[in-house]
Amino acid sequence: MISHDKKDDIERIVLDALSKSNSLGVFPTPVDRIIKYADLRVNSHVDLSIIPNTFFAKQGLILKRGLAKIRGVLDRREKTIYLDLSAPATKIKFVKLHEAGHELLGWQGKLLKFLEDNDETLDPDINEEFESEANYFASSALFQLQLFTDKMKEFPLELATCLELSKLFGGSFHAAIRRYVENSPKRCALLILNKEKSGTFSPTKLTLRTYIQSPAFTDEWGMVGWGEEFDDDAPFVRNFLENRRLLKSQLEIDWLGEVIKCNYHYFHNGHNVFVFMFPLGESVKSRTNFVVKY
C-alpha cells in the first residue's frame, strides 16, 4: 500500500513529466514523449518473450524467469528499456511508463545506486514497494492525473464509459476501469475474474483476480469480502457460461447481515471477466450520453 504522502510525491513527478514533455492534454497520451523526457530509449530489436536469460546475464542483469512473466526490463547503466514485444500495444505503453517511473522516482535510483556501490541486493519488501510505486506512476501518467477524473465526470456511471476512456487516453480497458473505480466519487465496485481450468477435460471456472471499491462504497459498507472461486449461484457466472460478452443486470450482495442490491454491468474481453457494480439508486446521470449495445 502506497501512503498518501508518497502518492502526492509521485503525482508531482508525473505532472512535471507530462508538462515538460508537452504531453499534458494530448490524446491519446504520447507515451514516447515521456520516455524521451526521462532520457531513456527503447530497444525494439530485443524481444523479452523469446531471448534467453544469457543475453542479460552477459550484461550483469538477472531475470527471474519462472517467477513471473517479464514484460519489461530497465538497464539503468545503458538507460535502455527492453520489452516483451508480443504483449498488446496498450500493455506495452503501460510497461514503458512503468520503467520510466523507476528512472524518474529519484529515491529509487538513490537507493539502488547505494546498493550497487556496496554489493548489496534490494530487500524483497522494498522491491515490491518500488514496483507498486512504478505502477502508480504509469497509471497516473497514462491517464494524465486530474484530466482522467475530469473526463470521467462527463460520462454516465457505467462500464461503457471505461471503454470510451481507454480509447481516449490510449490505455487498456483493464487499466482504465481500475482507475475509474479507484477515483469515482460515486458508490461502485469492480470484480475482475480469471478463467481457469484444473484439467484438460474439466470445465472452466471463474476465480478472483482483483476486487476494488470506490471510497464512497467503502465508507458505506466497508470492504466487502469475496471467496477465491465463484460457482453458478452468481448471476455473472451464468452469464459467462452462456458465452455472453456484454450485458446489464442486477445482483444482491449478502454482506454482514445486510443485502446490498446492485446494478451490475458484465464484460468478457476474452481474457478476463469484469463485473462493475453500483447500488440501486446511485445517480448515473452525466452531461454526455452514448449508446452501447448490450
Would you kindly state where each structural domain of the chain is located, as residue ranges?
4-142, 146-279
Listed residue (70, 65, 140, 59) closest to 101, CA to CA: 140
Q: What is the pLDDT of residue 65?
A: 42
* Residue 23 cell numbers, joined: 504531453
pTM of the model: 0.89
Cell for 190?
469492480
Domain 4-142 and domain 146-279, same fold? Reply is: no
State the pLDDT at residue 223.
98
Tell me what pLDDT residue 116 has: 72
If one counts every other C-beta atom within 10 angstroms of the C-beta of residue 122, the result is 14
- Which residues of the chain have a pLDDT value below 50? 62-68, 294
What is the spatial distance between Cα 263 and Cα 249, in angstroms, rounded to a whole number?
6
For 175-222, the pLDDT digits (tens) are 999 999 999 999 999 999 999 877 667 788 999 999 999 999 999 999
Q: Is the peptide bond before 215 cis (omega within 30 degrees of 0)?
A: no
Q: Please tell me the number of Cα atoms within 13 Å of 75 on its side-chain side.
A: 19
- Please state which of the four CATH numbers 3.40.50.1580, 1.10.760.10, 3.30.450.130, 3.30.365.10 is assigned to the domain occupying 146-279: 3.30.450.130
All cell numbers assigned to 270: 476474452
User: Of how many residues is the chain composed?
Assistant: 294
Q: Where are the alpha helices (DSSP H) in 62-192?
A: 89-104, 106-117, 124-142, 146-152, 159-169, 173-183
Collapse the DSSP code of 290 into the 3-class scheme (helix H, G, I; strand E, B; otherwise coil) and give the result.
Answer: coil
pLDDT for position 122: 84
Residue 50 has what pLDDT? 87
CATH node for 4-142: 1.10.10.2910
What are the angstrom distances between the C-alpha of 58 and each of 37, 53, 63? 28, 9, 12
